Amino acid sequence: MDKFEPQVSREIQANLERFELEDKPVLISGRALEYYGIRQPDERYDTDYDFIVSQKDYERLKYAYPNNLRDIYGDLGVTVGKWEFWTSFCAFSYDELACDAEDAGAYYVVSVPKMLMLKVLVMHQEPRRYADVVLIKEWILRNKYPEDY
């Protein structure tokens, strides 16, 4: 089930079809937080879609877009406009992030506990990432103890 607004869902679906991925990619980062309703879209930061893809899909994308390759501390990616496809995030692979992700139809969304872990790993890089950790913590507590919130 997709929790995004219909226009966002259509945009994701149409673009993922364009890339002809064999495996469902895993949505991570700010857009995953939006998906779960943990935070609202922020036009200052949320201008792209970050996905973790399988190794075979990365190889196909790398071949199709050889001038759009990126390497951030060993996490390999291909960026096409606002669409980013990565082999891993902080060395956590597709298989590690997809295993308990939520099925959103054409893609998966990383689970909230794993998103918390990923945000903690990078929270030293920017103040907004620490703010995301706090928002995720509050979301978990609100859902675990709704009578207290």
pLDDT digits (tens, 9 = 90+) for 2-23: 587 777 888 888 889 899 999 9
Sign of the torsion formed by the C-alpha atoms of 42, 46, 52 and 57: positive
Q: Is residue 127 part of a domain?
A: no
Residue 70 has pLDDT above 60, yes or no: yes
Please say whether the beta carbons of 52 and 89 come within 8 A: yes
Confidence at residue 14, expressed as pLDDT on a 0 to 100 scale: 86
pTM, two decimals, is: 0.91
Residue 135 placed within a domain: no
Amino acid making up residue 133:
V
Q: Spell out the residues 6+ positions from residue 65 whose beta carbon is closer than 8 angstroms to its own.
A: 78, 80
Q: For residue 149, is pLDDT > 80?
A: no
What are 22-58's pLDDT values in tens digits? Answer: 999 999 998 999 999 998 877 776 678 999 999 999 9
Q: What is the pLDDT of residue 9?
A: 80
Q: Which helix (H) or strand (E) holds 2?
A: none
Report if residue 142 sits inside a domain.
no
Q: What are phi and psi of 78, to 5 degrees?
A: -130, 125
Mean pLDDT of the chain: 91
Does residue 138 sit within a domain?
A: no
Tokens 């990923």 identify what position? 118
User: What is the total count of domains within the chain?
Assistant: 1
Q: What is the pLDDT of residues 93-132, one digit of tens each?
A: 999 999 999 999 899 999 999 999 999 999 888 888 899 9
Whether 144 is covered by a domain: the verdict is no
Residues forming a β-bridge with 84: 50, 79
The tokens for 37 are 């309703």
- DSSP for 98-142 reads HTTPEE-SSSEE--HHHHHHHHHHHTTT-HHHHHHHHHHHHHHHH
Nearest to 61 by CA among 101, 25, 102: 25
Look at residue 53 and give its three-state secondary structure. coil
Q: Would 72 be classed as within a structural domain? A: yes
Domain range for residue 107?
Answer: 6-111
